[in-house]
């Protein structure tokens, strides 16, 4: 009888009606609002280096979450753990996830991690759940599963959930599937990609240190930047702008064109610049990205 879900402001989970109902990315969401399933949103305590308000932001989110859970009727909580991707690489602390996980247990509500973007090493560990020492009941995976080469996704579930559908009677079975479910070529590519990942853990575990080093060398205290943040293989920063920040900020196409002209494919999300390279990048190549960001920012 529990049919409502809780999700987070800025969350992005995909573009079907169900996924959109759990997501709130302003860009696509508003025009479809009347079609959405019922649900509630909680503020996301996005943080960055030197953020003095992080604890009060987290407390506010947790207070609202607990208030909703006390009303009852909720089936689950959706979150992009540690990093909200599409919303502009908004990062939260592992402590916040641990607090959410605790509330989910306390109120017997499913915790659903959308690790489509954060999975397979992006946060510096194989999964954000590993990095934050939390375990979701349902885990959504895609992108990095095939190294981004072929479309494939996996939804993992705890034994309890799995067993609920594992019956001899077909009326209890989980029949939902897709035309390309289990596509053999995509599976073979994923197995090959997972082998590479297993053989080269340092490619993702060691990248945060390099991001830090180059951020310090090229961009530290740059007058055009604020809210610098890193999580594993992802580094992000906001370009200070006169106009409204966000996805449609007019600085994005200007910056993108300048980077492209210099031979770099960087795609700012509004006024948020981010560096999220493939794991095969060399330290020198990574540094060259920071050098070009510095050059472009100096022309602004
Ligand atoms: C890209 C992305 C999606 C979308 O996945 P589709 O397979 O395109 O539906 C969902 N969630 C997150 C966190 C993403 O980054």
Over residues 246-278, the pLDDT tens digits come to 666 678 888 999 999 999 999 999 899 999 999
Residue 65 to residues 25, 52, 58, 84, 233, Cα–Cα distance (Å): 19, 22, 10, 18, 29
CATH value at residue 212: 3.90.1150.10
- C-alpha to C-alpha distance for 24 and 7, rounded to whole angstroms: 8
Spacing, Cα 218 to ligand 1 middle (Å): 32
Answer yes or no: is the C-beta of 58 below 6 A from any ligand 1 atom. no
Sign of the Cα pseudo-torsion (203, 208, 211, 214, in order): negative
Angle of helix 207-214 relative to helix 283-299, nearest 10 degrees?
A: 30
Pocket test for ligand 1, best of 14, 83, 85, 123 (most atoms within 8 A of CB): 14
Q: Which of 154, 182, 199 is the last residue of a domain?
A: 199
- Are both 18 and 152 inside the same structural domain? yes
- Are both 144 and 191 inside the same structural domain? yes
- Are both 90 and 155 inside the same structural domain? yes
> What is the value of pTM for the model shown?
0.95
- Are both 158 and 223 inside the same structural domain? no
- Are both 70 and 137 inside the same structural domain? yes
200-231: per-residue pLDDT in tens?
999 999 999 999 999 999 999 999 999 999 99
Answer yes or no: is the C-beta of 85 below 6 A from any ligand 1 atom. yes
Domains: count for the chain? 2
Relative to beta strand 90-91, strand 83-84 is antiparallel
- Are both 92 and 39 inside the same structural domain? yes
Average per-residue pLDDT for the chain: 93
Q: Which of 199, 218, 240 is the last residue of a domain?
A: 199
Answer yes or no: is the C-beta of 116 below 6 A from any ligand 1 atom. yes
Answer yes or no: is the C-beta of 215 below 6 A from any ligand 1 atom. no
Spacing, Cα 43 to ligand 1 middle (Å): 20
Nearest to 252 by CA among 269, 275, 240, 265: 269
Answer yes or no: is the C-beta of 123 below 6 A from any ligand 1 atom. no
- C-alpha to C-alpha distance for 78 and 217, rounded to whole angstroms: 37
Count Cα atoms within 13 angstroms, Cβ side, for 190.
17
Strands, sheet with 138-141, edge to edge from the N-terminal-most edge strand: 39-42, 4-8, 74-79, 110-114, 138-141, 154-157
Neighbouring-strand partners of residue 273:
237
Answer yes or no: is the C-beta of 28 below 6 A from any ligand 1 atom. no
- C-alpha to C-alpha distance for 205 and 200, rounded to whole angstroms: 9
Pocket test for ligand 1, best of 116, 127, 151, 231 (most atoms within 8 A of CB): 116
pLDDT at 28 (0 to 100) = 65
- Are both 78 and 192 inside the same structural domain? yes
Count Cα atoms within 13 angstroms, Cβ side, for 23.
24
Q: Specify whether the CB–CB gap between 177 and 167 falls below 8 A.
A: no
Instruction: Report which protein residue has its CA nearest ligand 1's atom 11.
Output: 13
Residues 6+ apart with CB under 8 A from 192: none
- Are both 189 and 242 inside the same structural domain? no
- Are both 37 and 185 inside the same structural domain? yes
SS3 245: coil
- C-alpha to C-alpha distance for 180 and 178, rounded to whole angstroms: 5
Q: Which of 140, 173, 199 is the last residue of a domain?
A: 199
Spacing, Cα 242 to ligand 1 middle (Å): 31
Q: Specify whether the CB–CB gap between 44 and 77 falls below 8 A.
A: no
Residue 3 structure tokens: 């049919």
Domain around 235: 206-299
- C-alpha to C-alpha distance for 165 and 176, rounded to whole angstroms: 12
- Are both 219 and 134 inside the same structural domain? no
Spacing, Cα 284 to ligand 1 middle (Å): 30
Answer yes or no: is the C-beta of 14 below 6 A from any ligand 1 atom. yes
- Are both 159 and 229 inside the same structural domain? no
58-79: per-residue pLDDT in tens?
999 999 999 999 999 999 999 9
CATH value at residue 118: 3.40.640.10
Give the start-end residues of each E strand in 100-200. 110-114, 138-141, 154-157
Per-residue pLDDT of the chain (300 residues; tens, 9 = 90+): 899 999 999 999 998 889 999 886 656 678 888 888 889 999 999 999 999 999 999 999 999 999 999 999 999 999 999 999 999 999 999 999 999 999 999 999 999 999 999 999 999 999 999 999 999 999 999 999 999 999 999 999 999 999 988 888 888 778 888 889 999 999 999 999 999 999 999 999 999 999 999 999 999 999 999 999 999 999 999 999 877 666 666 788 889 999 999 999 999 998 999 999 999 999 999 999 999 999 999 998
SS3 10: coil
- Are both 255 and 187 inside the same structural domain? no
């Amino acid at each position: 009888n529990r049919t409502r879900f809780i999700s987070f402001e800025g969350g992005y989970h995909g573009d079907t009606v169900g996924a959109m109902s759990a997501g709130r990315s302003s860009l696509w969401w508003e025009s479809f609002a009347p079609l959405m399933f019922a649900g509630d949103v909680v503020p996301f305590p996005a943080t960055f280096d030197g953020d003095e308000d992080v604890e009060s932001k987290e407390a506010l989110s947790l207070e609202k979450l607990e208030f909703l859970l006390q009303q009852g009727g909720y089936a689950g909580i959706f979150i992009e753990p540690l990093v909200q991707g599409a919303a502009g690489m908004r990062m939260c602390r592992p402590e916040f996830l641990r607090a959410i996980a605790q509330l989910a247990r306390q109120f017997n509500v499913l915790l659903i991690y959308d690790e489509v973007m954060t999975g397979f090493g992006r946060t510096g560990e194989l999964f954000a759940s590993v990095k934050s020492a939390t375990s979701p009941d349902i885990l959504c995976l895609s992108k990095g599963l095939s190294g981004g080469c072929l479309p494939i996704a996996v939804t993992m579930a705890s034994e309890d959930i799995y067993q609920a559908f594992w019956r001899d009677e077909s009326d209890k079975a989980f029949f939902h599937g897709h035309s390309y479910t289990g596509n053999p070529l995509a599976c073979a590519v994923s197995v090959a990609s997972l082998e590479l990942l297993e053989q080269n853990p340092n490619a993702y575990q060691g990248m945060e240190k390099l991001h830090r080093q180059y951020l310090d060398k090229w961009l530290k205290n740059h007058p055009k930047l604020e809210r610098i943040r890193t999580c594993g293989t992802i580094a992000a920063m906001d370009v200070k702008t006169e106009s409204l920040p966000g996805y449609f900020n007019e600085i994005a196409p200007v910056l993108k064109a300048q980077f492209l002209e210099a031979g770099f494919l960087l795609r700012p999300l509004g006024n948020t610049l981010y560096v999220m390279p493939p794991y095969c990048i060399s330290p020198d190549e990574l540094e060259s990205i920071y050098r070009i960001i510095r050059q472009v920012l100096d022309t602004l």
